[in-house]
Amino acid sequence: MEATVRILNQSELVTRKYNDKKTGEEKVINAVTLKLTDGIDTFLGEITGERAVSCPK
């Protein structure tokens, strides 16, 4: 099901470290967190990877 939502707030680009489950090596992921609303509920969404790096403010 698709829904139309509105962005209430967008975080700055954040770089986080994590351990790859397959290899066990430490990697880095880029992320932008979005606070969204559909007019009734408010919820969080996240953009990761290269899309987060190129995400406009």
pLDDT at 22: 93
pLDDT at 10: 96
Range of the domain at 17: 6-53
Ranges under pLDDT 70 in the chain: none
pLDDT at 44: 97
pLDDT at 3: 87
Q: What is the pTM of this model?
A: 0.76
3-state secondary structure the chain: CCCCCEEEEECCCEEEEEECCCCCCEEEEEEEEEEEECCCCEEEEEEECHHHHCCCC
53 phi and psi, to 5 degrees? -65, -40
| R_g (Cα) of the chain, nearest Å | 14
In a domain, 25, yes or no: yes
In a domain, 1, yes or no: no
Domain count, the chain: 1
pLDDT at 13: 95
In a domain, 45, yes or no: yes
